[in-house]
Amino acid sequence: MIKEKKEKLYTISQLSEFAGISEQELIRMVLLKKIHSVRLGKSIRITEDGLERFLENLSGKAIPEYDFPVPVVYTAEQVSRILQLSVDNIWLLLKSGKLKGFKIREGKSSWRIPAKNLDDFIVSRSKEDAIK
């Protein structure tokens, strides 16, 4: 019988307290894939390996980047789950040009958002929030 090693998981607030970084900044880093995390329902947990790499990065040690299996493009529905917004709000952001994407056809589920554009949107929103 093989026993699997269960990796310890940390909450955003635990990591915030431990590292002295705001929860909002940690969430931004998770969304930008700078910290390895897992989703448990609606919660985000930081893996022990993710914490170690994050702390090594903070201390200035060179560490290899994660190789995440991330899609090249997302649907509007996927982006709505990532950003925790309604699909209608995502469509409004796309139509207004605040979130850059493209239509592959007319009808439902027709928008595609490149991963780079989503990252750029998250960064721009984080900067706007920091200014306020």
d(CA 21, CA 17): 7
Q: Determine the pLDDT at residue 4.
A: 53
Q: Where are the domains of the chain?
A: 9-58, 73-131
Tens-place pLDDT, residues 36-72? 888 877 788 888 888 888 777 777 665 555 555 555 7
Q: Is the pLDDT of residue 27 over 90?
A: no
- Six-digit token string for 64: 């290899």
The model's pTM is 0.47
pLDDT band at 1 (very low <50, low <70, confident <90, very high): very low
The number of beta carbons lying within 10 Å of the beta carbon of residue 109 is 11
- Six-digit token string for 20: 């002295």
- Six-digit token string for 82: 């990532």
CATH number of 73-131: 1.10.1660
10 strand-pairing partners? 46
Contact between 83 and 40 under an 8 Å Cβ cutoff? The reply is: no
Give every CB contact of residue 49 below 8 A, 6+ residues apart in sequence.
7, 36
Tens-place pLDDT, residues 62-119? 555 555 555 578 889 989 988 999 999 999 999 999 999 988 888 777 889 998 899 8
Contact between 42 and 11 under an 8 Å Cβ cutoff? The reply is: no
